[in-house]
Structure 1
Amino acid sequence: MTALQTTTRATWLRRRPFTHHNRLAAAVVLANLVAINADPTDMVVANLTLAVLIRQQHVINLLFRLATSAPTTWPLRVRWTLGKVYHFGGLHVGGAVCATAWFAVVAWTGADPLAWVILALLASMIAFALPNLRARRHDLFERTHRFTGWATLALFAAHSAAQPGFPGSTRFWLLTAVVVSVALPWLRLRKVPVRIVRPSSHVALVSFDHGVTPFAGSSTAVSRNPLLEWHSFANVPAPGRSGFRLTISRAGDWTGALIDDLPTHLWVKGVPTAGVGNIDKLFTRVVWVATGSGIGPCLPHLLSGDTPARLVWSTRDPRATYGDDLVDEILAVQPHAVVHDTVRDGKPDLVELALRAHREFAAEAVICISNRKTTWHVVESLEARGVPAFGAIWDS
């Protein structure tokens, strides 16, 4: 048996559908099956608390801080697994599904008509969150999740308050924690001034300086109508300067309108939230693979230089699309970067480019920032070859 065959067999469990995200969701379901004889209402509250808190910004930042605090002297396989911390959405999915299943028991065995209303709301949230529907109708998914979630929480609190012994009980405090978790980002809702540079009709570089300088590897959610839709983008802080930038490319109606309109203000809420890029600190050397505006999430790490890195960037006519200033800024800190111009050189084999950079740079890991199809292809192809690879999974 060759070394490649051995590695492939050792890593096949990292591929879909056996991702860490799905394994975490399955673990939650298994834990609920073990507790099958527990009180259904208690299990609803426990799973609801897990589903909500695991998506709370401060909790996410804590998870990343804990996972990335491992020293680079630890075995690579351990750090490889810790780097998958961004799959925590599996806990959210598992908790939400199990909370709904337990509430079906509550509705079936009880006599409160309100329970059936709550169950219908929970079921609708799950339906609109199914991957295919969510991808096709993301705005509808987001609004259903927000408004139905708020209504469900209010009705469930009313349903619980009617039960004897609820005030001061464990259920009471857990529901209080859920309410605070949901409300906290909205307490930091602000409309802030922005400065937008449009180097081409495809890209907007949005600068913020409203007293917040986020950490490298974080993201900020922005909106033009805070009740209807939010869009998250990677923060690009510059060393020694206040504020930050977002690199926004034309990828739909919302981004297209922003690039065309160039608004003077945008809404922000909550705090900068850690993302997949944070895991670079787990490794001694990394390769960043980006396509198009995926350069945005890579840029703060390249500028800081905290982890030695090599960039592979595939994009159409980089200077015409992103402007000389941004390209020169990148090349100043990455003089050996592989910049593949798709207009001039055609579509590249990103897996081969990543493997070559990984080998020549003696890197420990590859982080890919691209669209869904490309990210999954690059990450799964590299991990099948025994290379630790990471990239967004578009699940929550």
Structure 2
Amino acid sequence: MISDTMLPDIKKKVEDFNNPIFQRYLKSEMQQRYVCPICDLPNPDFTQLHKHMNICHKDHVDNPAVKEALDPLSGVKKILIDKTDGELITMGKFFGERITSEHNQHVLLNIIGKTGMGKSNAAMRIGEEVARYIATVKGGDPEDYFNITNIAIMRLDSIIPIIEDLDQKRFNIIVLDDIGASYSARDFNKAVNKNMNKVFQTFRDTNTMLIMTMPDSFLIDKVGRRLAHYQIEITDARHNEGISVGKLFEVIEQYRRGGQPHYHFVIYNGIKYPRIVFQRASAKLASDYEAKRSAIRKTLQVEAIANIRDADAEALEGIEKKEKIPKHIQIAEKVRVKISEDPDISIQKMSIELATSRDTVRNAKQYLKDNGLL
């Protein structure tokens, strides 16, 4: 990032400082300043500026300067003004161009964010936009490439019906929503985990786009993380405006550094995109999604209750085993009866008749004496 204080030195060192191409690059690398247009208060980041404006200057929301300051893409739009072919790229075109290109490509995208930030909505919105782009390029209806049946929710095994006939389809968008924990669980069938990684690697042949949503990328298998091409981090949810704001990164693996992944802002047509904005998914898809998620949630709830009960039963069984009455105490009454019937009976004879060891009989006899029963 380049700050204002660095500009004088840059101007001295760069001969063609005013060259339009260099100026465009300079603007894309400039460190943004998040200053309130009403009170000139500097803020550490864009999210803090948004909170400050909504708390301190609610009455100025219609002010053009405020609208521009709160536009997540204002910095990108300013750079586009300088380009004769400037056009704000959409997620549909960005990802659609890759999987419909002549180079037989596919896309694996991870979407990360806290609960309630709009991860699922972002995944569905991207799926719809990419499907619309594919339909314009390859023909057919957008629903041919993405619909509610292409979304697997919370359970990894729910992807099986989606991928069973994947070889018969091309350019499909698949969403694995909130199944990161299931995917990484240590007690999950290792064969399933291994085969899922194989499936991921075959998506290229069908030009498939896979979108996975999760609270954090560590929740998925490391192979799934390394295979990802892009990652979106949801940073802000504006429910009253019907949008979510995030950062889009291209995941680049540095093979010279042991395969360590590096995350870079996406650059398209010479423009760096530090932020992206998601509007709500279509009403029909959102409604179908909620119904499907609700049904799966009920199933998981029943399974969770059953698992808790089983675990509780196992715990009680363990306690009972720990509290089991010693054998010599169990036979103490029988030993007392035999001694009362035959005071001269030997320990060996009692052990044979009671089918137990002599030590157990001896301990039972001592137990009776200690408790005044013999």
TM-score normalised by L of structure 1? 0.26
Which is greater in Rg?
A: 2
Quick one: higher RCO (CA 8 Å, sep 6+), 1 or 2?
1
